[in-house]
Chain A
Amino acid sequence: MKNRHLVFTGLVLLIALLLPLLTNDYIIQVGTEIAMYAALAAGWNLIGGITGYPSFGNVTFFGLGAILAGAFSVNWHWQYGLAGIVAVLIAGAFGFLLGLPILRLKGHYFSIATLALAQATLAVVTNVQFLGGGRGTSLPLIGSPLIFYYIMFGIAALSALVTYLIVHSQYGNTLLAIKSDEQAAQSVGINTVLAKSTAFALSALLGAMVGVVYAIWQSYIDPPTVFEPGITVLMLVMTLIGGAGTVAGPILGAVIIGLLTQLAMAFSQNASSLILGLGIIVVVLFLPQGILGRQRSGKGGKRKGKHSFSLRG
């Protein structure tokens, strides 16, 4: 099993690294986007998939990363790297501190609260001049598209690595325990509030990292674009299609949705939404645990032993 994983991972890495040598700018652009969403989905998976708290507001951290890095570099003339690091740390702290109250809510209540969080953050950012206000922020054009491809790819790989390390640790088991039964988790001494908030913070850190790179890649950012709720929906859908709680699921989901979207766009702009919608319906009906997720086999399930291919990556 382990060897198969290694070969698979190696193959993905090889294709991703060599892809730019064989193709044109358009493919690189699509590849960058897929890597970006793979990283975002992997970040979402930490809180939504592994911990079982379906966040509808993870775009908040993506947006904060982009907006803060832009504001620091434009208004305070910080080097973009430094601005990015500070932005990521702030977004991570924001995630942790907000997680403390918000993660007391469960299920739909949590989802609605996170949705509101994203909208509230957008409203604040839009009204603060320092953060670009309603106008948005222009950043200098730097580097070639290829650099951003590799950076986004690096963040996606980092996200997968973080997920892998978590699901193979007792911390990962702690999060799975919380997902199974929070009261039971507390009864064995698990500080569930701390564990959940840490997962939310990690999710925020990864999201913000992507946001920071997105801002400089696009060289222009405005709040409505980077706080677009549809971005969270994509993270969620990709994770669910690939397999929530798995290491490779979010990445596979991002690749599938990314490629399907591009194919559909070749026919018409609207076709991509149609395909996305149909894809969700198919997955919900036939693969409720996602492609790599452990499918429950009939009543109670007969599966014994370690998890199938997916759960532990």
Chain B
Amino acid sequence: MSILQIKNLSKDFGGLRVLENISFSLDEGSVVGLIGPNGAGKSTLVNLIGGGDQPTRGEIYFGSRRLNGLPAWRIARLGLARTFQITRIFSDLTLDDNVRLAAWTNGWRGKNLETEVARLIALTELSDKTGVLGRDLTLSDQKRLQLARALALKPKLLLLDEVMAGLNPSELDRAIQLLAKLRNEGITMLVIEHLMRVIMSISDRVLVLHQGTLIADGPPAEIVASSQVQEAYLGRRYVKNRGGFQPDEPSEVKEGT
């Protein structure tokens, strides 16, 4: 059964078409990777799904619910949580208050609230940072915090926009394990990531965006073998050293569109 359906989605910014006629659906419980060069439209797509912006054309369904026109907070309350590529945390609140507020907003109360907050902080390995103000957290901690905060929404669908960028190899391994664990809990995920190692190890399926259009959609092995994807994104070097960490495209944190 599909949990998310995107139908003929397009987005223009003024005269610039950023997304063109995108259609796909996500099966419940699946983990789908979304890759593509910087500027391909990945973050814009996530933004449209999360209600941060409205599509120019096309429709988005979450289950049977049409999301077009709904404000972002209402979409979040339906169980569709997201993280941001450029971290957005509540800098005036402590780490635990960040998570607590998200959980409280979504109905956790009293003792359950505290238990859940502690669980999420432990799950994202932030227990030693409780009490630290959001503004004083490192980038990697902020990324984890965003994930903990998103999980506080008890999401059915999680949109992860480059949560792994900036992690060192051992942190990366643990993050991959964490996502695998979340998948086992039945959370559907759409994962934007430049790190092919991550995409290959956790995705059931990969979507490739290039210049605003969906150029490939299939199992990871098939995607890696696709000459069109190699041309547009992975580069030939990736294929030569199959299993390399990332494509030729630089993956610094940049505001993707």
Contacts and interface: CB of A to CB of B under 8 A. Distances in A.
Interface string B1-19: 0000000000000000000
Nearest to B91: A180
B76 A187 contact: yes
Contacts of A185: 73, 90
What interface size band does chain A fall in? 20 to 34
A237 to B, nearest CB: 22
Nearest to A297: B136
Contact of A301 (B72, B135, B149): B135
Contacts of A301: 133, 135-136
Interface string A155-176: 0000000000000001001101
A297 B208 CA distance: 44
Contacts of B88: 181, 183-184, 187
B71 A188 contact: no
Nearest to A178: B90
Contacts of A189: 73, 76-77, 102, 105-106, 153
Contacts of A192: 73
Interface stretch (A118-126, A145-153, A221-229, A302-310): A302-310
B92 A302 contact: no
Contact of A183 (B52, B74, B104, B134): B52
B205 interface: no
Interface residues of B, number: 37
B228 to A, nearest CB: 33
A180 B72 contact: no
Given A189-B102, A189-B153, A177 B90 contact: yes
Given A170-B104, A303-B136, A188 B91 contact: no
A25 B74 CA distance: 56
A173 B50 contact: no
Nearest to B99: A188
Contacts of A304: 131-133, 136
B52 A173 contact: no
A197 to B, nearest CB: 14
Given A173-B101, A191-B73, A180 B92 contact: yes
Contacts of B77: 189
Interface in B115-149: 131-136, 149
A180 B73 contact: no
A189 B72 CA distance: 7
Interface string B145-161: 00001101100000000
A306 B92 CA distance: 11
Contact of B94 (A181, A184, A306): A306
A200 B135 CA distance: 26
A257 B105 CA distance: 39
Interface in A281-308: 300-307
Contacts of B74: 191
B90 A181 contact: yes
Contact of B149 (A174, A188, A306): A188
A132 to B, nearest CB: 41
A127 interface: no
B101 A177 contact: yes
Residue among A180, A187, A301 with max Cβ neighbours from chain B (10 Å): A187
Interface centre among A176, A192, A193, A307 (most CB of B within 10 A): A176
Contacts of B52: 183, 186-187
A280 interface: no
A86 interface: no
A303 B133 contact: yes
B153 A180 contact: no
B57 to A, nearest CB: 23
B72 A173 contact: no
A190 interface: yes
17 contacts: A170-B104, A174-B101, A177-B90, A177-B93, A177-B101, A180-B134, A181-B88, A184-B84, A185-B90, A187-B150, A188-B73, A188-B152, A189-B77, A189-B105, A190-B101, A301-B136, A305-B132
Given A173-B97, A187-B150, 18 more contacts: A170-B101, A174-B101, A177-B90, A177-B98, A180-B92, A180-B93, A180-B134, A185-B90, A186-B72, A187-B50, A188-B73, A188-B101, A188-B153, A189-B153, A300-B135, A302-B136, A305-B131, A311-B92
